[in-house]
Amino acid sequence: MNAESPDGALLPILVAPHPTLKLRCRPVGPADADAVRALVPRMFAAMYHAPGIGLAAPQIGTALRLAIIDLAPNDKRDPRVLVNPEIIAASPELATREEGCLSLPNMYAEVTRPARVKVRYLDLTGARHEIEGDGLLAACLQHEIDHLDGVLFTDHLSALKRNMIMRKLAKEQKAKVR
């Protein structure tokens, strides 16, 4: 399970406003199977290193409908690979919780989403699964699936809040380069 590139580096996580983060990703097909199987362990390594609880393929520059999550309850790994995930049911009740994103480092905001969702996806063997979640799991599933549609958590905010976060991020990234 090689988590690094041939030169030993972790996969870089793209930072907004990188244009790849705004792309609608194409479904993973049978021809992508080997590439996806090779990519997934490297995605987990990048996500755990960041550290984070979810990562979508566009965040590492790959425009495929592929996401990983691991909410790691009690520090026990529970990695899940979601190939071609889709929300098939969402509750009318809403929940608001603070969200962050590995592509918007150190930026957080309250985001309102459906409180519960049911998601259908494939695993790495091509087997179909469904997962239902509420709380953090529901938010994480929706957040990662949003990435596959070119949507960032800031897109759920008012224009004022979104612009404040994007300006702050740009300022921090500029300072980091110096």
Active site residues per annotation: 144
- Are 111 and 156 spatial neighbours (Cβ–Cβ below 8 Å)? yes
Q: Per DSSP, which regions of 92-144 are E strands?
A: 94-101, 104-114, 116-122, 128-134
122 torsion bin: left (phi>0), alpha (psi -120 to 50), beta (else): beta
Residues with Cβ within 8 Å of 176's Cβ and at least 6 positions away in sequence, in order, are: none
Cis bond upstream, residue 79 (ω within 30): no
End-to-end CA distance of the chain, in Å? 35
Report how far residue 22's alpha carbon sits from residue 167's, in angstroms, rounded to the nearest whole number.
17
